Amino acid sequence: MPNLQHIYLDNNATTRVDDRVLEAMLPYFRDYYANPSSTHIAGLTINEAIENASWQTANLINADAEEIVFTSGATEAINLAIKGLANQNKKHIITIKTEHKAVLETCAFMESIGFEISYLTVNFDGLLDIKLLKEIITDKTLAFIGMFSNNETGVIQNIGEISKILKTKNVLFFCDATQSVGKIPIDVKSLGIDLLALSAHKFYGPKGVGALYISVKAKLKLTPQILGGGQQKKLRSGTLNVTGIIGLGKASEIAVNELEKDRNRISLLRNRLEKGLLQFENSFVNGNIENRIYNTSNICFPGVNSEQLILALGNISVSNGASCSAVTSEPSHVLKAMGLSDEKALSSIRFSLGRFTTDEEIDVAIDRILNLLEKLKT
């Protein structure tokens, strides 16, 4: 009988570390602990393991190992990618209003140092109107920044079509794929992505490690944001987080082998959860239901305060927005950008399932949530 004391449906915030990832990491805490920058045998041995993890991570997105720079996570990767463009001649960047705060706040910083930032709106379903992108690109446009799949709604943008437009205009494409890498197939080469951010803890790896893909073909010369020992081709100084990188590599290897298995099982669970919860009167899914990642469902329950529901659920973990801003009572900027009123945005809940979600947990969650919705509706 599974332990249902804690039902975790907040996998877009973070995921449980896979046991196989943990097992791969443990020796690098206690046995293989040398500094990978050291020139002795012990250090060189660790460096070989880092190179293997670089290959594993690159293979997940069809990149080359030399195109991977390890970071402390997606937020640092995003800062390196965007701030690293500061010395380029062109000074216009385009992004989307529904991006993660890590992108939006870094773009605001770029504005403060003289860049022009264009924030594009989305349709009611969360998808970008491609015409807007075509119309706003000028000869001064340096880069476009866009999520692969949204962290709150799961909506997947038309990355292929966006990339085609950018390439015809010689505009760089930086994709925040934090919520997509390790869940769905991503090929940076065929998609024409120049920069891509990812984070291990979003696909069953450890927290505190991520990576930035930097296309060699794009010949980008990013300005480093962390200076010091000159590690990673001087792009990101500091002693490498060896155990974290080993974990990221292993999580990437597992994902390559189990993408379809995870997708098939989790999508069925998500659909069952969604069908059950939409029995609540006037409830509806936020975002495009055809173009979204398979593990995410963002549902509005009109007349129910999402914060009250989250507190009442107790042992069932869900979210009412991005995990980094979930402590606030402000409506989601993503849902607002999609045209929802404050009231409806504050009545919306994100459910995000994962590799360790079970059938029984979904059944228990549906019954419990429906009962609470009836009690809490105004």
139-175 residue pLDDT tens: 999 999 999 999 999 999 999 999 999 999 999 999 9
Q: Residue 195's pLDDT band (boundaries 50, 70, 90)? A: very high
**Do residues 12 and 84 both lie within one domain?**
no
pLDDT tier, 378 (very low <50, low <70, confident <90, very high otherwise) = confident
Average pLDDT over residues 273-280: 98
Percent of the chain at pLDDT exceeding 90: 94
Q: Which SS3 state, helix, strand or coil, does residue 284 take?
A: strand
- Domain identity same for 270 and 241: no
State residue 326's pLDDT score.
47
The pLDDT of residue 323? 54
Residue 1 within a domain = no
Q: What is the pLDDT of residue 1?
A: 41
pLDDT tens for residues 61-100? 999 999 999 999 999 999 999 999 999 999 999 999 999 9
Do 276 and 236 lie in one domain? The reply is: no
In a domain, 158, yes or no: yes
Same structural domain for residues 295 and 190? no
pLDDT digits (tens, 9 = 90+) for 118-129: 999 999 999 999
Single out the residue of 183, 88, 107 nearest to residue 145, CA to CA: 107
Query: Same structural domain for residues 234 and 289?
Result: no
94 by DSSP, 3-state: which?
A: strand
The CATH number assigned to the domain holding 108 equals 3.40.640.10
Helix/strand/coil for 110: helix
Confidence band, pLDDT 50/70/90 cuts, at residue 219: confident
pTM of the full structure? 0.95
324 carries an active-site annotation: yes
In a domain, 360, yes or no: yes
Encode pLDDT of 168-189 as tens digits.
999 999 999 999 999 999 999 9
Is pLDDT at 4 greater than 80 in this prediction?
no
Same domain as 285, residue 227: no
How many structural domains comprise the chain? 2
301 and 347 in a single domain? The answer is yes
Q: Where are the beta strands (DSSP E) in the chain?
A: 7-8, 68-71, 92-96, 116-120, 141-147, 172-176, 195-199, 210-214, 284-285, 296-300, 316-317, 348-352
Is the domain of 157 the same as that of 240? yes
Q: Do 37 and 231 form a contact (C-beta atoms < 8 A)?
A: yes
| Domain that includes residue 174, residue range | 19-254
| pLDDT given for residue 218 in this prediction | 86
Q: What's the CA gap between 130 and 368, in Å, rounded?
A: 41
| 3-class DSSP state of 213 | strand
Tell me if 111 is assigned to some domain.
yes
Query: Are 276 and 289 found together in one domain?
Result: yes
> What integer pLDDT is reported at residue 329 of this predicted model?
73
Structure confidence at residue 360 (pLDDT)? 97
Domain membership of residue 2 (yes or no) is no
Do the Cβ atoms of 331 and 342 come closer than 8 Å?
A: yes
Confidence of residue 59 (pLDDT cuts 50, 70, 90): very high
328, pLDDT greater than 70: no
- Give me the count of residues in the chain: 378
The CATH number given to whatever domain includes residue 358 is: 3.90.1150.10
Do 327 and 197 fall into the same domain? no
Last residue of a domain, one of 205, 237, 254: 254
The mean pLDDT value of the chain amounts to: 95
Same-domain status, 220 and 268: no
* 230-269 pLDDT per residue, tens: 999 999 999 999 999 999 999 999 999 999 999 999 999 9
DSSP assigned state of 272: H
Same domain, 196 and 345: no
322: confidence class by pLDDT, cuts 50, 70, 90: low
The domain boundary, picked from 226, 254, 282, lies at 254
- Last residue of some domain: 254, 286, 311? 254
Cβ neighbours of residue 288 closer than 8 Å, sequence gap 6 or more: 125, 126, 127, 155
